[in-house]
Amino acid sequence: MNTWDVVIVGAGAAGLFCAGVAGQRGLKVLLLDHSDKLAEKIRISGGGRCNFTNRLLDAAAPQKHFISQNPHFCRSALSRYTPQDFIDLVQKHGIAFHEKHKGQLFCDHSAEDIIRMLLAECEAGGVTIRSGCGVQSVRSNTEATAPTRYTLTTTQGEMQTKALVVATGGLSIPKIGASDWGYRLASQFDLRLVERKPGLVPLTFDGAAWTPYAQLAGLALPVGIETGDKKARMHFDEDLLFTHRGLSGPGVLQISSYWQEGSPIRLNLVPDVNVPARLQEAKLRSKKLLGNELATWVPSRLAEAWVGQDAALQRTAAEVPDKALNKLAEALSNWCLTPTGTEGYKKAEVTLGGVDTRDLSSQTMESKQPGLYFIGEVVDVTGWLGGYNFQWAWASAHACATALPGPISN
């Protein structure tokens, strides 16, 4: 009989880690993935070096770094399995790493180091891994006394299990095998879903209004960026990257998770400059073209694109009317523009929304359907850019793996 203590579907970050921890608890674990190549999202993350956690995560106030209809849901798991816990594991495996920016930890060599580590942990737990194995159907066993709760029909045969863990991720980056299977299974068992949409994704702009900026593709600069009003206002100080179709870079990816369709974003292109004072100073003393003065605070290509749109700015600083200078100062420090959309799931790093946390235990990740667990990105918990989503994968997987029931008695 093909019987298991736990079957985990999805061999990404959460699934691999959960399998290793559960196996080392003495459980008989089967890890399935429909793809032939495991952990592709880890492999491509962080430019191939995997930003595996963030030292600045505040487990006492996770809503600072996580988006969810109930941001407090993630507190339990994140406080019980911390960034330092995962760092200890990385160090135990001798993986060299460094802090790049704002608490973000990256492998010195390659994301493959993290994948090898997770596979080694699975091997230590005696985990059976089957890749290229799609799950065609899941049936629950209605007999209360049965040792197994679920029967899975797969492309590699039928399996029975006491516990079923869904770690299938979200809809982002379909070219590496993203699937909605986890959401469909949740619906099969009448679990609620929060609307899904792309998160940590570049923003796009259409029409003639974007034409002057399309030529700036590849240009990056530090900015202040925000969206929303009053209590819903979110602000980040990060880098901005111009693309042919719009804006990207860390600042835009961060704000995209909070941006609502039809709403504007606001950019301060010169966050460390008192623009009105500098412009007035240039008018009093400079004989240079205003564009040349501007190029001392912002990249020259951006300065050229800006002054090229207004004839009043295409003269020496001393000759530009005060009204035009004031308008320029406002535009540079509070550039308000409304995206027409995003680059969608093909460029999104994560999926916002997912399995509703109201139907899950924050302690164990078990759903209201007994023996069925959801971990990682498939859940309505989305972190900021910078290692937070990986830490949610590790923490939710650990909470689940340590709560799974013991082995089926022989």
* 209 has a pLDDT exceeding 90: no
Instruction: Read off the pLDDT band of 128 (50, 70, 90).
Output: very high
Question: In the structure encoding, which two tokens stand for residue 230, read together?
Answer: 């009053």
Handedness of CA 191, 194, 196, 200 (dihedral sign): negative
In the block, residue with structure tokens 């299938």: 168
* 198 has a pLDDT exceeding 70: yes
Q: Can you list the domains of the chain with their CATH numbers?
A: 3-198+348-403 (3.50.50.60), 203-342 (2.40.30.10)
Q: Please state, as a whole number, how many other Cβ atoms lie within 10 Å of the Cβ of residue 88.
A: 10
Buried/exposed code over 345-383 (b: 16+ C-beta within 10 A; e: otherwise)? bebbbbbbbbbbbebbbbebbbbebebbbbbbbbbbbbb
What is the Cα 207 distance to its own chain's centre?
29
**pLDDT at res. 408:** 81
In the block, residue with structure tokens 């009204």: 323
DSSP calls for 49-69: T-EEEETT--TTSGGGTEE-S
Q: To the nearest whole percent, how much of the chain has pLDDT over 90? A: 90
* 99 has a pLDDT exceeding 60: yes
Q: Where are the beta strands (DSSP E) in 55-211?
A: 66-67, 97-101, 104-107, 128-130, 135-140, 150-154, 157-166, 193-199, 203-204
Do 338 and 264 meet the contact criterion of CB atoms below 8 Å apart?
Answer: yes
pTM: 0.96
* Residue 117: strand, helix, or coil: helix
Average pLDDT, the chain: 95
* 171 has a pLDDT exceeding 80: yes
Average pLDDT, integer, range 33-40: 95
Do 77 and 399 meet the contact criterion of CB atoms below 8 Å apart?
Answer: yes
Instruction: Read off the pLDDT band of 409 (50, 70, 90).
Output: low
Average pLDDT, integer, range 201-218: 91
d(CA 138, CA 158): 10
Segment 325-341, tens digit of pLDDT: 999 999 999 999 999 99
**pLDDT at res. 211:** 87
Q: Please state, as a whole number, how many other Cβ atoms lie within 10 Å of the Cβ of residue 47.
A: 9
Segment 341-377, tens digit of pLDDT: 999 999 999 999 999 999 999 999 999 999 999 999 9
In the block, residue with structure tokens 């302690």: 363
d(CA 9, CA 181): 10
Indicate the angle between helix axes 13-24 and 112-124, nearest 10 degrees.
Answer: 30
* Residue 176: strand, helix, or coil: helix
d(CA 369, CA 140): 10
d(CA 3, CA 63): 40
